[in-house]
Amino acid sequence: MEFFVISMLNGLSYGLLLFMLSSGLTLIFSMMGVLNFAHASFYMLGAYFGYTLSGVLGFWVALVLAPLLTGAAGALFESQVLRRVHKMGHVSELLVTFGLSYVVLEVVQLVWGRVAVDFTAPAFLQGPLFTLINHSAEGLSLVAGAAGGICTPADPAVRIVCSPFPATRGFIMLTAIGMVVSLWWVLTRTRAGLIIQAALTHPETVETLGHNVPRIFMLVFAMGTGLAGLAGVIGGFTFITEPAMAATVGSVIFVVVVVGGMGSLSGAFLASILIGVIQTFAVAVDYSILQFLSDLGVKLSANAQNNTMLQLSVSQAAPVLPYLLLVLILIFRPRGLLGTRDV
């Protein structure tokens, strides 16, 4: 039971982190039709900005300032580079963001080095948020913070399993949920959100009504990259801040966007959670094709039983599962789970 709860929370927190990234990506895509290949690079920039700023100005300032800086970098890129190549069509836009991802990677390596930097969580986030205690006699209970001495029973006959849940992961969930709510509020309940939504579908009409559509595009781009920066700060100290961090999430967030449906925020949310939870739980499953066949009653030769492909367990294949999901979605539901248009 505690395994399920902890794994579920791990999966949810990872999924929510993915959503912070993919929401910006899908927002930019739905507005400008640009698949921003450098999106994960802004995630990395956010982490490094957060690392440097938290060393100088403290954690809270860094948490606010790093996403703003990242967003400003995004706005600068949109207004100075992306807008210029916009008239040359989507391929050029795609290529220029692709190029940017390389430039950012090299710049990060030049400035901060090729080795992971020591970006650790602030003191109040170190340690557990709560501890789940499974007492063999008294059952399951919950304690806020660390459980301390309760975990080592005085009576050897009693078995107690303590499962702390790290505060950093709780912080990810809290921030992501806060972000979802405020994003939803801005997009649906404010005047700015209405104009953004209108510019999404009818940019010419919005322009004739006297709104500065290029500026709206720039703001959306800044917002998307800023969200990635925020995810970077939080992901940076929860996991690890190093130059390959962009490449590892970069491919997964594209999967999220395609699976959720291009341009659909709610789809991205659903897909992020789905992928986060699937990846976490897949690690726990040792089931292999070999076992599946023997459960079906198929008798295999000794040679076939030693086949490494058949022995491959779900847990070993866990890192591949999101991509498998991507292929399946593209075959059976190309518009994605909640998307409205085909890829």
Partner 1 sequence: MLFRKLAMALVLGGFSLVSYAQKGETVKIAWIDPLSGLMAPVGSNQLKTLQYLAEEYNKGNAAGVKFEIIGMDNKLSPAESLNQLKAAMDQGVRYITQGNGSSVAGALVDAVNKHNERNPGKEIIFLNHSAVDPDLTNHKCSYWHFRFDADTSMKMEALTTFIKDLPDVKKIYLLNQNYSHGQQVVKYAKETLSRKRPDIQIVGEDLHPLAQVRDFAPYIAKIKASGADSVITGNWGSDLALLVKAANEAGYTGRFFTYYTGVTGTPTALGQGAAGRVYQVAYAHYNMTGPMAKYRDGFKAKFKDDLYTGSMISIFDVLTGAMAQAKSTDPVKVAAAMHGYKFKGFNGDMEMRKLDHQLQQTLYVTVWQKADKKYPYSPENTGMTLAPVKTFEPYVSSTPTSCQMKTP
Do the beta carbons of residue 206 and residue 17 sit within 8 Å?
Answer: no
Phi, psi angle pair for 67, to nearest 5°: -65, -35
Q: How far is the CB of 231 from partner 1 (least distance, A)?
A: 14
CB nearer to partner 1: pick between 36 and 280: 280
State which residue, 59 or 165, has the beta carbon closest to partner 1: 165
Least Å distance, CB 176 to partner 1, is 16
Token pair listed for 199: 């510019």
Shortest distance, CB of residue 236 to partner 1, whole angstroms? Answer: 11
Question: Which residue number, 264 or 279, has a Cβ lying nearer to partner 1?
Answer: 279
Q: Minimum Å distance from CB 95 to partner 1?
A: 24
Tokens representing 39 are: 């999106």
Nearer to partner 1, 267 or 322 (CB): 322
Return d(Cα 149, Cα 322) in angstroms, integer: 40
**What's the closest the beta carbon of residue 310 comes to partner 1, in angstroms?**
15
CA 256 distance to own-chain centroid: 9
Nearest to partner 1 of 53, 245 (CB atom): 245
* H-helix segments, 202-244: 203-208, 213-238
**Nearest C-alpha neighbor of 201 from the set 111, 116, 263, 265:** 263
Nearer to partner 1, 219 or 255 (CB): 255
CB of 67 to partner 1, least distance (A): 21
Nearest to 45 by CA among 121, 105, 118, 113: 105
Q: Which residues bind partner 1 (CB under 8 A)?
A: 3, 6-7, 10-11, 14, 109, 114-116, 128, 131, 151, 161-164, 166, 169, 239-240, 242-245, 248, 279-281, 283-284, 286, 315-316, 319
Q: Which two tokens stand for residue 114?
A: 């090729």
Other C-beta atoms closer than 10 Å to the C-beta of 136 total 11
State how far the alpha carbon of 245 is from the alpha carbons of 104, 133, 167, 322, in Å.
12, 34, 21, 17
